[in-house]
Structure 1
Amino acid sequence: MASVIDLHCHSTASDGKLAPSALVERAAGQGVEVLALTDHDTLAGQQEARGAAERLGIQLVSGIELSCVWGGATIHIVGLDMQLDSAAMQQAEVAQLEARKQRAHTIAERLSRRLHTDIPLAEIQRYAGGELVGRPHFAQYLVDQQLVPSMAVAFKKYLGAGKPGDVKANWPALEQVVRWIVDAGGIAVLAHAHLYKMTRTKLRACISDFIDAGGRALEVSYGNMDADQQRRMVALAQEFELLGSCGSDFHGPNRFGLDLGVMPAFPADIEPVWQHFRSA
C-alpha cells in the first residue's frame, strides 16, 4: 500500500542510489508528505534534503540509522526527530564514521593479502565518491582491475559472508546508540526486527534491553514485510507497549521492488511514533 509517511530511507550519503534532493523529489512524486532520511551512521545528507523538502512542501523529520551490537549480533536503531546540532549527535556521527573507516581499512588489508596485490584504500574511497565506503565499492574496484570477472564473483569469492572481506565493524553497544538518540532529544526505533535471525525469546530479551536503554518504538510497517511478519511485530509492540514506526527502507529504484511510501498498511491498534514528534 502507499503511505503518506515514510520514516526509513537512504540516499547517496550512505548506501542509497539517489542524492538527498532527488530522494525527496521522488518521495513527493510518490505522494509522501512526511519523510525521514535515515542514512547509515551519517547526517551528511540532511541539509540538502531539508532544502528540497522546504521547496516541495514535504515535512522532513531528522533521522539516522545507527549500527550497534547486542548479544553478538549487529542491530540497527533508527533515530527520529533528533536535534542535529546536539553534542550527542555529533559524537555519534564521529564514532560511527571512525568504526566504518577502520572496517574499510581492514577489508583493504585482507584483500591485499588474499590477492597478493595492493588494494589502495584511497582508490576505493574515490570509487565511493564521498559516500561511506562499503563492500560494493571494493567489488567494483576488483572488477575494473580485472581481478574478478563480475561483481557477483567478487562477492562469492572475496566479499560475501564468511569471505576475507566480510568484516564486522567495531560497533558500540545498543545501550550507547540509544543513549545518543535520546540525549539528542530524539526517539529511538528498533529497525526491521523481523529480519534478525533470533529466536522469539532472544528477540524479546533484545527488546527489553532496548526499552531499558530508552528505546520507544518498533517498526511495524516496513517495506516488503509480509502479513505474518507484521503480525509478530504488532504483537511485540503491544506486549512491550511500544510506539509503532513505518518505513520503506528505500535505497534506490529497482532494489527489491520497493519504492518510497510503499509498505503494508499501518496497524490501527498501534500508537504511531509521529504523534510524539516535537513538530506534531
Structure 2
Amino acid sequence: MNYTGGTKQALSFIEKYKNLGYIVDIYSDEWVNAQDPDEYYAITPEDLVRFDKEFGSEYRGHLLAVYLGNSNPELRQDLRKILKPFDDYCNIKPSGWRQISIPGLLFINLKTQEILCIGLGYKNRIYSFELSKYMHAHKNGLQITDAVNCSEDFYALDHHNVAKRALKTMEQLGGNYYEYDNLPGNADVIVSLSEDDNLYYFDDYDTDEGMTAEEVDELVADYARYSEWIDDCIDDLKAYFPKIEERWELNSGAY
C-alpha cells in the first residue's frame, strides 16, 4: 500500500526493508495474500474481509512489524537516522555492568505514531516499552516502571491482537530459553556409568553430581521438551517476523 504522512526518507526506509523482509505490513492484502494458507496460521484474507465489515478500513496499514533480532547493522543504522528517539535510546550510556539491550522486535503504529519495543534482557526476562514514554522517563530521571507500557490506544486497531500475542510469545520464549540454558550438561547428554557409585556422569561436562538412569532419561526429555517449546515460539513469531533465521537469535545470553 502507499504510506502518507512520513518524510521521504522514512517512506523509502519502509519500502526498502519491506522488500528485504525485515518489515511486515501486518494488515495489508499484499502481505496476507502472499502467504501460503497451508503454512501460514495467522491473519487470513477472510479475516481482513471480516475486519473491514466490522470495523471499517482504518486499521489497514496502521501496524508495521520490524525485526532487529539478527543485528543487521545497516537496518539499525538506517532506523537511527530516521527515528531520533531510537537513536537516543541506542546512545544511552549504561550505568553499572549491564549494557543497553537493543530490542529484537518493534511494532510501529502509524496511527498513534508510537513504537512498541520488545526484547529479552537479563536472564532472558522479557522487557517492553513504548519508546517515547521510555525516553521521556530516562531524560527526566524517572524510574522505569509500567508507566512506559503502551496505552490501550496503541492496540485499538490491532483487531487480531498481533502485538499482545507477540508480547505473550516472547515472554514464553524467554522462559523456555532460561530453562533450557540452565539444564545441566548439554543437549547431547553424553554420559558414562561409573563403576565406583553406579551413577552416570557427563563425558564432556565437569560435575561432581552423578545421575541415575531415570534422571538421565528425565534430562533427555527436558532438553527435548524445551527445545520443542522454543521452536513453537519461534514459529509463532515468524508469522510476522519472517527474517528470524536461527532459533537462538533472540536469546540474550545474559545470565
Structure-1-length-normalised TM-score: 0.27
Q: Which has the higher contact order (CA 8 A, sep 6+)?
A: 1
Structure possessing the higher radius of gyration over alpha carbons: 2
